[in-house]
Copies of this chain bind each other. A is one copy, B any other.
């Protein structure tokens, strides 16, 4: 009954808007990390951070429209970045190593950015096309307003 760290799978599911089954499935295929050393049979426990992670997973899934397998690849990049961040927090790393880590992280980010930018671009294009069409239709409607002359005979 504390305020953090005592979430069970049902709570998490409700929090992020999915089902326990889905969460277990994601864990099963390696999309979510299996909580290390949980005696088989014991309940899963989630921290707020893990909930956030799941939210991010679902967000990316929805926005990028990729398979869970592809998503796993993308997220392994995130994982790698997390490791990098952890290593960087220690400041006893050699600048050379530090540079390598940062460069690696940058690579991961760039790959994701490329994907996202492409999709965002396509969607923006579609949005603009729709807006364009909308404008034309609204224009025609205004035309009807301005010139209500002619035949007012309704049938």
Interface, chain A (partner B; CB < 8 A): 59-60, 62-63, 65, 88, 94-96, 98-99, 102-103, 105-106, 109-110, 112-113, 116-117, 119-120, 122-124, 126-127, 130-131, 133-134, 137-138, 140-141, 144, 148, 150-155
Contacts and interface: CB of A to CB of B under 8 A. Distances in A.
Contacts of A150: 95
Contacts of A112: 130
A38 to B, nearest CB: 31
B140 A102 contact: yes
A126 B59 contact: yes
B126 A95 contact: no
Contact of A62 (B59, B65, B110): B65
Copies in the complex: 2
6 closest A-B pairs by CB: A65-B65, A120-B123, A109-B134, A113-B130, A116-B127, A120-B127
A127 B151 contact: no
Given A63-B126, A99-B144, A106-B134, 10 more contacts: A63-B123, A65-B65, A94-B153, A94-B154, A95-B151, A96-B154, A98-B144, A102-B137, A102-B141, A103-B141
Contacts of A113: 127, 130-131, 134
